[in-house]
Amino acid sequence: MTQNAAFGLDPEIEAFIEKTGRHYPENAATLDAAGQRRVYDQMCAAFDLPVPDGLAIHDELIHAGAGRPAIPIRVYVPDQARANTLILYMHGGGFVVGGLESHHGVCGELSAAAGCALVSVDYRLAPEHSHPAQIEDCLTIFRHFCSTYDRIIVAGDSAGANLAAALCVATLDKPRKPDGAVLIYPALGGDQLDLPSYSAMADAPMLTTEDVHLYHRLWHGGSEVLGDALSAPLLATDLTGHPPTAIFSAAVDPLCDDGAAYAERLGQAGTMARCHTEAGLVHGYLRARRTSRKAEASFERICGAVRGLTTSVTLPS
């Protein structure tokens, strides 16, 4: 993570980057998995916010089938939650770090804002578990709740946004698929298409292009696997039937162009999709949602997108 005045970031985002750096050293991506998780959890704890009042919260273990460990989930249910509607949230962290605690505040706020239940998925992490373990776990949880909820919206940030999109791709030809998707600074495989942001934002603060490749190798057992639509949804040959999708990309992020490219592909396939490229924001800005006015405004748009998709097939303008 490199702070660079050339990116023209405002003082609030500069302060967010500086605080992150105090808890997340520049060489964090080169630590072993245990070391990365330790510093990531410490960093997320430094930005902890209490969840809104009026939420019932409990943890569960969901059976995943023979030979696979049970999948931990955390369930958030607001008072007077709208019946039959669920948000399925996949956390970010490069498929290597993160879990139920790192995104606890975000999930609580999204559940309260949408007025419906939310399930956070603690999917298996790399490098101990390579792709496709992560999407397998998310699909298991999705199928588990299909008989309980009539409407399921999938959402996630960064690696979690990848998994939300991959879940949509994996169910394109299935009778039951998500009813909408909200993707926050998603990693969708644009590096394999040489999208310009991977060069223009190669040394962006919070996430570099080198970091993206490193996490990709960790996720795929030490190599960079190319051409797999379940790890790079932008490479799917046909996205017909994909649910309506709201995408929020950070402008100062090597992943920036993935969002717009995916929205364009979805539009070509006849899907309602919209990408918001958030000017002056960096990867991971959800943690700055109460200290940066720009991040707060984007989070309000994200909440609006979730509300719109949980109540009808609408996207924010």
For the record, the structure tokens of 44 come out as: 């997320």
The one catalytic residue among 257, 283, 292, 298: 283
79 tagged catalytic: no
Q: Cα separation of 262 and 273, whole Å?
A: 9
State yes or no: cis peptide before 127, omega within 30 of 0. Answer: yes
Residues paired with 117 in a beta bridge? 86
- Residue 221 φ/ψ region, left for φ over 0, alpha for ψ in the -120 to 50 degree band, beta for the rest: left
- Distance (Å, rounded) from C-alpha 302 to C-alpha 169? 22
Sequence letter at residue 17: I
Among 158, 197, 231, 292, which one carries the catalytic annotation? 158
Q: What is the 3-state secondary structure (H, E, C) of 194-215?
A: CCCHHHHCCCCCCCCHHHHHHH
CA nearest to 261, candidates 251, 250, 247, 272: 247
Given the residues 122, 179, 253, 258, the one annotated as active site: 253
Residue 146's identity, in one-letter code, is: C
Catalytic residue status for 253: yes
Q: Is 137 one of the annotated active-site residues of the chain?
A: no
**Count of CB atoms situated within 10 Å of the CB of 73:** 22
Q: How many CB atoms within 10 Å of residue 42?
A: 11
- Count H helices, E strands: the chain? 9, 8
Structure-token pair, residue 204: 């962006």
Q: Which helix (H) or strand (E) holds 142?
A: helix 133-146
CB 212 within 8 A of CB 257: no
- List residues with catalytic annotation: 158, 253, 283
